[in-house]
Copies of this chain bind each other. A is one copy, B any other.
Amino acid sequence: MLRTVLPHGLTVVTEAMTSSRTFSVGVFAGVGSRHESAARHGASHFLEHVLFKGTRRRTAEQISAAVESRGGELNAYTTKEYTCFYARVLADDGDVAVDVLTDMVTASRVRSADVDAERAVILDEIAMHADDPSEVVAEQVADAVFAGSGLGKMVIGSPASIEAMSRDLVVRHWRQHYRPGSLVVAAAGDVDHDRLVEQVAALDAMPVDGPEPRPVRALPAVERPALVVTRRRVEQVQAVLAYPGAGLFDDRRHAAGLLAAVLGGGMASRLFVEVRERRGLTYGIDAGETTYSDAGMWSVEFACAPDRLATILDVVADQLDRVVADGVTATELADAKSQMRGQTVLSYESPSSRMGRIGTAALLGDGRSLDEVLARYDAVTPEELRLEAARLFGQRPTLGLVGPRVPSAVTRRWG
């Protein structure tokens, strides 16, 4: 990997992959919903939409056509911690992709008419999310687990905040947060580092207006709700059982990650075997982590018929208790490590996934190589795993449910 930091702070990271005929590039800005005040709720995502609407050199259609007419992909997404604009193209089209992305991020016009048109689109996007029970349950659990912190807020904003969002506020958000020192350009595949550094110089010269954003609040010590329920007329209940967990740079997350693999990391995991294979109670069940730079969440997720919910939750609670009491076997731990290694190598096979990894690592300040991360997973001991289980599952969990009804046995035990 090559890395260059330009005079005003823009970081460029690249990884050349010989034999790749394609090129993936992303512009990462260190701003997401956790950095937003109540009045700006959804501003990062709103801005992401608006930057596709036209620059001094290109209309919205010309922006899209420049990449799509060559079969490439041009898109963007906003998370709670950052915003990413990216393109994936044939190697010969790399210059065009970089030029379009740089143009969008530095020279968008942000006209009032465009802000109003995107307001309608985003309100539709909110309605679309609200129609998906699995998204609703994820959002309400995050809101409960990260209560009082910016990490609980939805990326997309609320209908009220989006209705009230002005052009002026969107532009101020852009000028305040898209500072060269908060921007990273990452590329992988058939890439020429020095050429890319020259091409993105405009990003290092972006004008800045407004105070430097203050560091975001860590997780406050507030009481979290034990049970959050949304009633929906659907056939299945969507359930998430969540515990506050380790952040990205917390050394404990290696044990927490392996614990997720043993308990719910695939069809041979304890929860899948107990709940689906042995009892046929649900189509699937997973355990996993959600990690942000300074906090995280460890959770079990499944969907089921309402009359099976109490039984499944009992099986899950029993399995978590067993790990706290007895730990895991040497074979389970070895398999989890081997699984983590294989998954990691397989998941960074393509230029686009490689670009995503080096871009977010540079943005969030993660200096570890993949090999270093894997070595740390390999070093986790059985006792470390048991201690992390005791720490995680010793906390009071939050149970999130979206479904037609909540059996009283569930309310009694988990409410």
Binding site for B on A (CB under 8 A): 18-22, 52, 60-62, 64-65, 68-74, 88-90, 93, 116-121, 124-125, 127-128, 130-133, 233-236, 265-268, 272-273, 276-277, 280-283, 303-305, 335-336, 338-346, 349-350
Q: Is the CB of A268 within 8 A of B236?
A: no
12 sample A-B contacts, Cβ–Cβ < 8 Å, listed by A number: A68-B265, A68-B266, A71-B340, A71-B343, A71-B345, A121-B276, A124-B236, A124-B282, A124-B304, A124-B305, A125-B283, A128-B236
Smallest CB separation, A185 vs chain B (Å): 21
Q: Is the CB of B280 within 8 A of A68?
A: no
**Residue of chain B at shortest CB distance from A278:** B117
Smallest CB separation, A66 vs chain B (Å): 8
Q: Is the CB of B349 within 8 A of A280?
A: no
Question: Which chain B residues border A272 with CB–CB below 8 Å?
Answer: 64
**Residue of chain B at shortest CB distance from A116:** B280
**Residue of chain B at shortest CB distance from A272:** B64
| Cα(A52)–Cα(B272), bound, Å | 13
Smallest CB separation, A45 vs chain B (Å): 13
Q: Is the CB of B268 within 8 A of A64?
A: yes
Q: Is the CB of B280 within 8 A of A93?
A: no
Question: Which chain B residues border A132 with CB–CB below 8 Å?
Answer: 132
Q: Is the CB of A342 within 8 A of B70?
A: yes
Question: Which chain B residues border A62 with CB–CB below 8 Å?
Answer: 268
| Cα(A221)–Cα(B49), bound, Å | 46
**Residue of chain B at shortest CB distance from A238:** B131
Which of A19, A117, A305, A346 gathers the greatest number of chain B CB atoms within 10 Å?
A346
Question: Which chain B residues border A304 with CB–CB below 8 Å?
Answer: 124
For the A-B complex with A61-B267, A132-B132 known, give 18 more contacts whose Cβ atoms are closer than 8 Å: A21-B345, A22-B349, A52-B267, A60-B277, A61-B273, A64-B266, A71-B339, A71-B346, A72-B342, A74-B267, A118-B280, A120-B281, A124-B283, A128-B283, A131-B133, A131-B236, A233-B233, A349-B350
Q: Is the CB of B19 within 8 A of A70?
A: no
Q: Is the CB of A280 within 8 A of B121?
A: yes
Question: Which chain B residues border A116 with CB–CB below 8 Å?
Answer: 280
**Residue of chain B at shortest CB distance from A75:** B267
Q: Is the CB of B283 within 8 A of A121?
A: yes
| Cα(A88)–Cα(B347), bound, Å | 11
